[in-house]
Structure 1
Amino acid sequence: MQHFIEKMPKAELHVHLEGTLEPELSFQLAKKNGAELAYKTPEALVAAYDFHDLPSFLNIYYAGMNVLVEEDDFYQLTFAYLTKARSQETLYAELFFDPQAHTSRGISFDTVITGIHQAQVNAEKKMGIKSQLIMCFLREMSAESAMQHLVLAKPYRNWLVGVGLDSDERNNPPVKFAEVFSEAKAMGLKLTMHCDVNQQNSLMHIKQCVSDIQVDRIDHGINSLECEVLCELIKHKKLGLTVCPVSNQFVVQSLTSDEIHKMLKKDMLVTINSDDPAYFRAYLNENLIELQKEGKFNQNQIVTLVGNAFKVAWLDNATQNDYLQQLHRYVSQHI
């Protein structure tokens, strides 16, 4: 089963580029840019990854970004992730990035997005991995700041496929950003929002995402299972749910395999993703392998989870079908 998973054609829809910053690259960039790190070695940095909830993770996560300064830093970050993803047979990825975390440090929006985009172009050319970019807003910052960054993004509209909402959910409901997301939708961008597992008012936030914001997808969304009506609505709207098992384990001490089984039984479009793989020490293959072990998922269920990612990816029908055919050919050869 492990070999079957490792070689499957896959898509990843929930990965934060800043969360792919491996310790070794972090130290290289810190030395180049004269940035101070709180740890003396990459090993010491990894040892500090002792997360027990979302805020404890975010504290280390944002501190780690200080090494990202120049356009080439964002290029290296993005190219390194896409190289790793392609080595795990990921054919397509939708990448989150957090511009406010960089502009607030004095880094220009242009520097950030140009470095990322150039890496995407080169990775597709050299390795055949296609990717699209999703700009996320930090929910603890103001709606005005989010709108300012949407305006900054307008010259780069063709480099973006959608917008998202992430970071600290406490007292930051989706409706806080209703105007920004309405404007993004008018620009032709897809919409998604984080509703992390067991956060304050998680169920209310999911309801706002679906009914008020009218998102195209939900990131995480495990708590939707608490409301049968909401599950049916998500299913009716064919909304994908981008679940991240290993990162869930840091919050609820489980890979949420039971919940994922329930979603599959309800025919909800649940997908598996890595979230912040450098910090949680698990990329897409590791998430799928560990989930399969904990939840005893059979081959058909794993194929469904992987297939769902292609089905809810923000791609045209022809490209979606091409990826799904590649997956089906692989499965037919390995049954």
Structure 2
Amino acid sequence: MDAMRLEPWMLRLDWREDERPFALVDLAQWPRDEPFDPLPPVPLVGLGDPADPRAAAMDVVIEPPITLEALATGIMAAPRAAAALVDLLRATYALPLREALVAESFAYAMLQGSDEHRGWTGARQSAPAAPAAPPPPPGHLHVERDGATLALLIDRPEARNAIDRALRDALFDAFTLAALDPAITRIRLAGAGRSFSMGADLTEFGTTVDPVTAHAIRMRTLPALALLPRVDALEVHVQGGCVGSGLELAAFAARLTASADAWFQLPEVGMGIIAGAGGTVSVPRRIGRSRAALLMLSGKRINARTALAWGLVDAVAEGPG
């Protein structure tokens, strides 16, 4: 790991000749009058106190429970996706929500056509097949209106509430309804069973191979886009696994609570892609760009206690509150 530690002058090397997957800076040793600009075209990783004013110039600063080794492993598993992620976060962190979601979709579509993502899908397809089991039923979203409250329940416990096309479209329709009806002042979203949602249904990955078509579909069906006018009304409670697109959507909530057994993960970079359901927009706005990058680049889980300390959730409770 020491081989990737950079001396101050090394950030001014010609990066066309530098193939390191990330740049590592020890904030305690970096001269205080030495700038970090221009940023390299790879993740800029800081070691030291996250409260150090210079930490804001980093893409990510290491902090528990995620280690440098875990972060390095995540980056090196898919360095092109990792570099694309930090470029996207740099560009969109201060953008309005809709513009940031459009940029995320472009980046996601580009990575869908990458060698890294094709390598992940190829390895998954060539893995030994598990004993045949009946596929879980399509996802169902229970929608109930009670006065000014719209209650939504993701109900696909057989698949740990993995979000398939049916659920995605139902969520889009429900959020569109809320956006069109000003009498709805509260949207409550929950998941049935032991997990809130384990993210996108992996069996649907690769069904749209053209990145341009995939982007066009997202611009017409992405639940986060329909939700944008009413994010201030959304309340979410999560339990068990809150992964991938499930977390990406939940993080838009004005109030997000979690049971003590909840855990959170964004594993997409390891698949050669990035969070593509709004997570590069929602998660950084809850926990900051550095912690969002730490979670996304490492692909590691954090528990409810860490999520509360980081601001990812607003409270830990056994039910909505």
TM-score, with structure 1 as normaliser: 0.26
Higher helix share: 1
Structure whose alpha-carbon radius of gyration is higher: 2
TM-score, with structure 2 as normaliser: 0.27
